[in-house]
Chain A
Amino acid sequence: MALDQSFVGRSYPPTAPYEVGREKIREFAEAVGDANPAYTDPEAAKALGHPDVIAPPTFVFSITFKAASQVIADPQLGLDYSRVVHGDQKFAYVRPVRAGDRLTVTSTIEAVKSMAGNDILDVRGEVHDEAGERVVTAWTKLVARAAEEA
């Protein structure tokens, strides 16, 4: 099923702010087994020049993917989510996400393609803090695998 090409370039309104908590960062760092003290000890983070504990580099994906879900779930786009796999992921950081951040995400559809029966969707999420400064940009490529022939 071809995706609706008119979605290319479409941007969605910024999400409600996500408040980054110290304990959520700790939970995530423990889940990936990463004992770097910059994630859990404010003094260790300050020694590295950060105002508070920082989040592991991929932490922000949970926030950007939730924002992208409003795109993915749009029935007009026509993406079969049951067949979706994560193709590529990239982040560009202005600074690390840190505890106390109130982050909003603006999602934009960069590309909609069909290749060899697979539907491919590229979504960019721009993450800004409360002051309106960009913190990180996330690019997510999703691939809906072609349905098998019956």
Chain B
Amino acid sequence: MTESVTRPVPSKVAYSDVEVGTELPAQSFPVDRATLVRYAGASGDFNPIHWNEKFAKEVGLPDVIAHGMFTMAEAIRVVTDWTGDPGSVVEYGVRFTRPVVVPNDDRGAVIEVSGKVAAKLDDNTVRVDLLATSAGQKVLGMSRAVVRLA
């Protein structure tokens, strides 16, 4: 069984142009209750802690919280918007350290994501370390992606 097919990945970013410490453009991702309902439908995760305030509080949460997988989906956009090709992502992992609390007001919450190149690896790949915060607190830990560059 062949494990992998080599194919061109026309990343917008060249391996030779990045160094350890190169910063990726940071982004802010707004999230409100409607965002969470929509994500629930698209992902099939209907856990009521993501849309039912009464239920969330009964299980000890401060309010409705965003799906961890929603936050994970937003954080990698800093990488995929940087390379242009989402297929450039070779590995991606996070730890869900703190929930993104989404109040039922006119503003909701914002997830702020920044990233920088932490290591240059073999085969034109780099490791990007991501920092994701909401309301000034880190919401993802060990948030890392390995990305293939041009």
- Chain A residues with a Cβ under 8 A of chain B: 27-28, 30-34, 36, 38-39, 47-50, 54, 56-58, 61-62, 65-66, 82, 85-96, 132-134, 139
Contact = CB atoms under 8 A, between A and B. Distances in A.
A88 B43 CA distance: 18
Do most interface residues of chain B lie in helix, strand or loop, or is the interface mixed?
Answer: mixed
A139 B68 CA distance: 14
A16 B44 CA distance: 17
A28 B86 contact: no
Nearest to A34: B77
Contact of A56 (B1, B7, B41, B86): B86
A32 B76 CA distance: 11
B27 to A, nearest CB: 10
A103 to B, nearest CB: 15
A36 B41 contact: no
B87 A49 contact: yes
A92 B72 contact: no
13 contacts: A31-B38, A31-B39, A31-B41, A32-B74, A33-B35, A48-B84, A49-B87, A57-B76, A57-B80, A57-B89, A86-B69, A90-B94, A133-B3
Contacts, number: 114
A94 B140 CA distance: 24
B76 A86 contact: no
A60 to B, nearest CB: 11
A88 B95 contact: yes
B81 A36 contact: yes
B2 interface: yes
Contact of A48 (B4, B45, B85, B95): B85
Helix, strand, loop or mixed for chain A's interface?
A: mixed
Contact of B87 (A54, A90, A91, A92): A54
A39 B86 contact: yes
Given A32-B74, A38-B86, A87-B95, A61 B3 contact: no
A95 B73 contact: no
A49 B7 CA distance: 7
Nearest to A92: B91
B87 A38 contact: yes
A92 B39 contact: no
B15 interface: no
Contacts of A58: 69, 72-73, 76, 92
A94 to B, nearest CB: 5
